[in-house]
Structure 1
Amino acid sequence: MAFLDLSNLQKSFGQNHVVKDFSIAVEQGEFVSLLGPSGCGKTTVLRMVGGFETPSAGSITIDGRDVTGLRPNQRAIGMVFQSYALFPNLTVGQNVAFGLKVAGVGRAERDARVAEMLDLIGLADLGARYPFQLSGGQQQRVALARALAPRPKVLLLDEPLSALDAKIRVSLRTEIRAIQKRLGITTIFVTHDQEEALSMSDRVVVMSGGRADQIGTPFEIYNAPATRFVAGFVGTLNTFDAVVTDPATGSVTLNGLPLALDRPLDAAKGATIGVALRPEAARLGRDPSREVVLPATITAVQFMGAVVRITAEVAGRRFDLDTFNRVDTPPPAVGGEAEISVGARDFILLGD
């Protein structure tokens, strides 16, 4: 049995079905992200795991124990909120010690645990300060230390980085992942930021409409999206409607342009299917190592530092291509004709 098992969870508020038949088995020490747009049900799933919402149906098991009907303080979970939720009248050390004190942990053990946690988050010298004397990133570290102090079995993180600026977010997500690995604590992380989910997680659950559209490793989610929603939500994608001309050989046409996908297609001749390409999968110019060459017209060039995004028109559709910035290779001129080379296996077939 998995360490954290969510089986057929459902949650309804009146006639509004927020979570629909959600299941996942999470192994001990695994870091799993729930990723999706606002309103997809990811925070409701997290709150059900934490005991802050009661499932309308389904069960939640932690370390072999059914906790579905238990209160939050009976589940051995630690929770970090988006808004920090620190007590403004308590010092950093007192905030970290709060859960231990409520649990009746003795003073000596409590002080030792607080010192350990402050050292873990790199704030060993700031225990006597108050939250208002800390930066946003420091406050979130304190919230993390407070959640970890009672040694929970499962750590729940509800968009903990969304209130921070971009640079601090990148730094703190690296720290959170390092701490999680060091402690080996099973973690569920809620985010709407795909970069956070892909960079931090062992597995990602992409949610839509209260359901898990796909569960997989970051590599699987990005490179082999199971549905159109996952394909469009995770990363940038060039999408086309293709007409099947020979299902056995994978031959299609894009707005009359013949194309061989080099794989059999589960579609009838004459059927329309969705195909897609990531911007980084294409190369500007003719590349003999790639089977497909698409004629294009350059419509825009965006310099983004290390990456140059080239936008073109291909088969009557917008096509984005990403290439690394090189000082010896100037970007193409807007309005010019070009060729884009693509590997046949780089095309993604879009499901429903």
Structure 2
Amino acid sequence: MPEPFLSIQHVRKSFGTATVVQDFNLDIEAGEFVSFLGPSGCGKTTVLRMVAGFEEPSGGRIVIGGKDVTTLKPNQRNIGMVFQAYALFPNLTVAQNIGFGLKVAGVPRAEIDSRVAEMLDIIKLPAGEFGSRYPYQLSGGQQQRIALARALAPRPKVLLLDEPLSALDAKVRVSLREEIRSIQKKLGITTIFVTHDQEEALSISDRIVVMYGGKAEQVGTAFEIYNRPATRFVAGFVGTLNILEGRLAESGKVRVGTGEIALKDKLDGARPGDALSLALRPEAITLDRRKGDDVLMAGEIADVQFLGSVIRVRVRTGDSTVSLDTFNNPATPPPQIGDKVEVSFSSGDVMLLN
């Protein structure tokens, strides 16, 4: 099996008595796009800064391309970094900003000009129109494209992106994240993308590292993270989740609200009467009975939220309340609060939370 291109081995980081990263391990293949996802303060940016060389690990090692870079300075690691703030030089033109790193490295002027034009073409901001502009003459999205081009211009081995889209409005964020992914694939550059936005991570990553409390809670593809969360934190943080509290019945099923659920998970050590916490995604539930569903629960509409293409409905059933998603149909009005309904789902979609 080939060696990983980027290897983070038993890395930890403490500031005084506070440990912010605990025994972090991750291997990343060449050309892979990996996202660090988690809430503020979980350690994701600290890990990124240690890879970049801006923070020194309190323990562990970082290897890039087979070379131990743990003690090397940032400019000795051949890494490109894009920050949340654009960090462009306001007194330099777009072309000068992109070529700055190349100029510092002593690259000949003709080569710099050629590389700048190439990068502007990649980010779809033609040199003839944008090269001579200054940062204040650009939109936020355009400025972040320039910051990306500047990071890529020296042909780094690894690209690090620290929440680069958080300062942009929603529509621009979606467009730019797709462009970043497209450029990353085109160049084949190994990339780490830090975000607290689960939609961003789910939509563009080869793999996702969900972090909490300075640790990697789970590493996997978007499909694995969403559909097979390894911990209660991952289950609750990624996507919307129904938490159902039930009790184990004599039949071996779990009694929740007005229904009983036959879990696919093993109930090692559980006894009748024991309280159990279950999880179920909103899209797994439907109003009325759906063919193939083996759980049917009677309830009452408690709330209806119109979210555009999706309508989120909350149904009170016994002592529990479940949320479900249904697509908007202009020809069919949504249910009304107080309506008596039935909801159904498959017990195979229910996850047991530890």
- Encode CA deviations 1:273-323: one digit per residue, 9 max, x unaligned: 221111111111112321111112101111111101111112312211100
Show structure 1 runs of 5+ residues with no match. Answer: none
- Encode CA deviations 1:223-262: one digit per residue, 9 max, x unaligned: 111111111111110001222236xx85111257432224
% identity of equivalent residues: 63
Partner in structure 2 of residue 136 of structure 1: 140
Instruction: Report matched runs for 1:285-304 at 5 Å.
Output: 285-304=288-307
Question: What do you get for the CA RMSD once the two structures are aligned?
Answer: 1.3
Q: Quick check: 1:250–1:262 contact (8 Å CA) kept in 2?
A: no
- Encode CA deviations 1:133-184: one digit per residue, 9 max, x unaligned: 0000000000000000000000000000000000000000000000000000
- Encode CA deviations 1:72-92: one digit per residue, 9 max, x unaligned: 000010000000100000000
TM-score, normalising length: structure 1: 0.97
Aligned mates of 2:193, 2:252 — CA distance in 1: 39
Partner in structure 2 of residue 111 of structure 1: 113
Deviates more, 1:305-314 or 1:46-55: 305-314
TM-score, normalising length: structure 2: 0.96
Aligned mates of 2:10, 2:231 — CA distance in 1: 21
Partner in structure 2 of residue 281 of structure 1: 284
Q: Quick check: 1:250–1:263 contact (8 Å CA) kept in 2?
A: no
AA at the equivalent of 1:100: L
Q: Quick check: 1:302–1:310 contact (8 Å CA) kept in 2?
A: yes
Partner in structure 1 of residue 340 of structure 2: 337
Q: 1:327 aligns with which of 317, 326, 330?
A: 330
SS at structure 2 position matched to 1:229: helix
Q: Quick check: 1:244–1:269 contact (8 Å CA) kept in 2?
A: yes
Partner in structure 2 of residue 260 of structure 1: 262
Aligned mates of 1:88, 1:256 — CA distance in 2: 64
Partner in structure 2 of residue 311 of structure 1: 314
Work out whether 1:58 is the aligned partner of 2:60.
yes
Work out whether 1:205 is the aligned partner of 2:205.
no
Spell out structure 1 runs of 4+ moving beyond 4 A: none
Residues 160/334 of structure 1: CA separation in 2 closer, same or farther (3 Å cut): same
Deviates more, 1:301-310 or 1:57-66: 301-310
Partner in structure 1 of residue 87 of structure 2: 85
Aligned mates of 1:105, 1:200 — CA distance in 2: 33
- Encode CA deviations 1:36-72: one digit per residue, 9 max, x unaligned: 0000000000000000000000110001000000000
Aligned mates of 1:208, 1:226 — CA distance in 2: 13
Work out whether 1:194 is the aligned partner of 2:192.
no
Q: Quick check: 2:287–2:344 contact (8 Å CA) kept in 1?
A: yes
Aligned mates of 1:290, 1:319 — CA distance in 2: 16
Show structure 2 runs of 5+ residues with no match. Answer: none
Aligned mates of 2:188, 2:100 — CA distance in 1: 23
AA at the equivalent of 2:204: M
Q: Quick check: 2:257–2:317 contact (8 Å CA) kept in 1?
A: no
Work out whether 1:173 is the aligned partner of 2:177.
yes
Instruction: Report matched runs for 1:38-53 at 5 Å.
Output: 38-53=40-55
Aligned mates of 1:250, 1:196 — CA distance in 2: 40
Partner in structure 2 of residue 19 of structure 1: 21
Partner in structure 2 of residue 159 of structure 1: 163
Q: Quick check: 1:155–1:186 contact (8 Å CA) kept in 2?
A: yes
Q: Quick check: 1:251–1:262 contact (8 Å CA) kept in 2?
A: no
Work out whether 1:31 is the aligned partner of 2:42.
no
Aligned mates of 1:302, 1:240 — CA distance in 2: 21
Aligned mates of 1:179, 1:250 — CA distance in 2: 52
Aligned-residue offset at 1:336: 1.3
Q: 2:224 aligns with which of 197, 217, 220?
A: 220
